[in-house]
Amino acid sequence: MANQDYSVSEMITLEACSACSLCADACPAVSAAGDAKLSGVYRLHQLKRLQRSRSGFLGKLFKKYRMTEEELSQFGDTVFKCTLCGNCEAVCPVGIRLKDIWVSLRQDLVHSSAYPKKVNVIGENISESHNVFDEDNEERADWVDDMPDAPKEGFIKEQAEVVYFTGCVSSYFPMAQQIPIALSRIFQAAEVDFTLLGEDEWCCGFPLLGAGLREMTAEVIEHNIEAVREKGADTIVFACPSCYQMWREHYPDVFKLVHFTEYVYDLIREGRVPMQELPMTVTYHDPCDLGRGSNVYEEPRRVIRSIPGVKLVEMKRNRDKCACCGGGGNLEMIDKDLTAAIAGEKIEEALATGAGTIVTACQQCVRTMNTYVKRNKIGLDVLDITQLIEKALPEKED
């Protein structure tokens, strides 16, 4: 549609690409699909072609290279076959902020009506139901009903020091609901004064960015800021890396924002989390939005090493080079087979460590990897770090 979907810096840095193809080598989608058209270098080449053909002198000069509607539509399909993992950006030798460009490109393609129409459901669901699954938002905290030791108020207080922002996947997806349950039990054991927002929590807006609907985020941001403010809290804790990154990068700087691994590590150091021996060998998967997205690498490892009896072994690719699980960027909605193929490569790498459990710190990673493991009957447990800590909590005395 127009180059106005991009910032000035994004437009300028496009020209810095040297076509070295390191981004293609690092891309999990290219590796799993064997398709070079899913690579960052191809995407940038096509984007520069698109921009130069649109208007002014360059538009006339490059008129014969202008994309047809069919070509633009095909390009749009490849752009959305991406997990937005940021691995391409991590290896870019000239430091192009590729992830930001991919988000702007998706918005451009939506405005140009050259995108997979499946993603429309994300905007529709969040607009109508305030969550990505079109569930009743009043049921956002119904997972509490599965906790026999939950307080009468169901962790929803009028005032509290800390707000636990649960996120859509953990609120509604049965496999992921074990994460908020585990986190709540840990907070109970550590006597943290926390509250949920319940039905007043709306989707953080991160899925809207991946859907090319950035302009829709303003409403959810304003609502969630006010919902937290009404609780009188000064700190928000996230177990979802995508929610955490969204608040850090796109919300106004009003509250202290911490990922659960950062928060619980402080609790452990203060001696507030009782833990018993847990004889396990685990490997840790760095979630893309927590690692490359938010630069949180060491706290999860310190937490794991602080659990008595747990041995941590690293995968070949870890920290900023960690391979994506396949669950990001709304990819599963566009191409579930590609998501599964990426997850398969991740699981093979985890199995090579000899660990019996892969631990991560993201509900989407848990869901994606667990789905692959169960469907393929692989002998590997997949746990969120909250669940690992919960396993180490002493049994409650009657």
Mean pLDDT of 20-49: 96
Closest CA to 154 of 140, 175, 167: 140
Average pLDDT rounded to a whole number, residues 121-139: 97
At residue 173, does pLDDT exceed 80?
yes
CATH 1.20.1300, applies to 3-115: no
The token pair that represents 68 in the structure block: 């047809």
Three-state DSSP at 147 gives coil
Question: In CATH terms, is domain 119-267 a member of 3.40.50.1860?
Answer: yes
What pLDDT, on a 0 to 100 scale, did the predictor assign at position 61?
A: 56
- In the chain, where the domains are located: 3-115, 119-267, 274-392
184-239 per-position pLDDT tens digit: 999 999 999 999 999 999 999 999 999 999 999 999 999 999 999 999 999 999 99
Write the CATH number of the domain with boundaries 274-392.
3.40.50.1860
| Sign of the alpha-carbon dihedral angle for 79, 83, 84, 88 | negative
Tokens found for residue 398: 């009657």
Its pTM stands at 0.95
Give pLDDT tens digits for 327-378: 999 999 999 999 999 999 999 999 999 999 999 999 999 999 999 999 999 9
Q: How confident is the model at residue 307 (pLDDT cuts 50, 70, 90)?
A: very high
Q: Which long-range contacts (CB under 8 A, 24 or more apart) does 342-346 make?
A: 342/28, 342/29, 342/31, 342/32, 342/83, 343/368, 343/369, 343/371, 343/372, 344/32, 344/372, 344/376, 345/28, 345/31, 345/32, 346/285
Distance CA 95, CA 89 (A): 7
Residue 318 has pLDDT above 50, yes or no: yes
> 119-267 and 274-392: same fold?
yes
Burial class (CB in 10 A: 0-12, 13-18, 19+), 186: buried
As to burial, measured by CB atoms within 10 angstroms (0-12 exposed, 13-18 middle, 19+ buried), residue 204 is buried
Angle value at C-alpha 394, between 390 and 396, nearest 5 degrees: 105
State how far the Cα of 260 lies from the Cα of 273, in Å rounded to an integer. 13
CA distance 332 to 32: 14
Residue 91 has pLDDT above 90, yes or no: yes
Q: 40-52 and 69-79 helices cross at what angle (nearest 10)?
A: 140
Mean pLDDT of the chain: 95
Q: What is the pLDDT of residues 245-286, one digit of tens each?
A: 999 999 999 999 999 999 999 999 999 999 999 999 999 999
